[in-house]
Amino acid sequence: MLSDLARQSLAGLRLLLVMTVVLGVLYPVAVWAVGQGLGDRADGSPVRVDGVVVGSRLLGQQFDGDAWFHSRPSPNDHDTLASAPSNLGPLDPGLVATIRERRAEVAAREGVEASQVPPDAVTASGSGLDPHVSVAYADLQAPRVARANGLPLAQVEQLVADHTDGRSLGFLGEPGVNVLELNVAVAAAATGGD
């Protein structure tokens, strides 16, 4: 049995090396080669302003200040080298307190009742890099962003609508507003470029 195990293991080692070439090198390179024909999605869907990459449409960023739409709370400050959720449990008293604090903060920032603050504004996402906020949270922020940028509210609301990703095929997943692309559009409108 033991000598059989040793003999089999040697065959296994040789097979593993052969398979490493096929599965570990040829396969990913082939996928990469095909991916190059699919636009810049394989490179992380970069968003450019004047030719300069300012982010990825799929990665949430930290936005502070009144001129920007804010992303959802992130346990890691949107560090892409440390994607993570909070991992706090459903009954955790600390999490409940944090949610209440966030609710008060958002309500004060947007000048609305605490009860109007939507769930995604007070909860951290699964990755800490959620590129979206709910349509409700974007609508809540629109008046402040319009004011801070000196833009008509109707124009900002139109930008929110333009940058809302609907459900895939109309029913898969849930709609969300892409915060980075929306902020790029707001900045362009504020400087008169759009």
Which of these ranges, 70-78, 104-112, 142-150, 153-161, lies near other proteins under the rule CB under 8 A? 70-78
DSSP string, 133-174: E-HHHHHHHHHHHHHHHT--HHHHHHHHHHTEE--BTTTBS-
The one among 54, 148, 151, 190 contacting other proteins by CB under 8 A: 54
Which of these ranges, 24-32, 104-112, 147-155, 156-164, lies near other proteins under the rule CB under 8 A? 24-32
Starting at the edge strand found earlier in the chain, the sheet holding 176-178 runs 132-133, 176-178, 164-165
CA neighbor of 130 nearest in space, from 66, 63, 64, 68: 63
DSSP structure class, residue 92 = -
The one among 106, 107, 110, 125 contacting other proteins by CB under 8 A: 125
Separation of CA 64 from chain center: 16
Report, in Å, the least distance between residue 190 CB and other proteins. 13
- Check residue 66 for interaction with other proteins (CB under 8 A): no
Q: Which is nearer to other proteins, 108 or 154 (CB)?
A: 108
- Check residue 193 for interaction with other proteins (CB under 8 A): no
106: tokens are 């958002």
Query: Scanning residues 161 to 190, which ones bind other proteins (CB under 8 A)?
Result: 165, 167-174, 176, 180, 183-184, 187
- Please, is 19 exposed, middle or buried when counting C-beta atoms within 10 Å of its C-beta (0-12, 13-18, 19+)? exposed
Report, in Å, the least distance between residue 168 CB and other proteins. 4
Report, in Å, the least distance between residue 176 CB and other proteins. 4
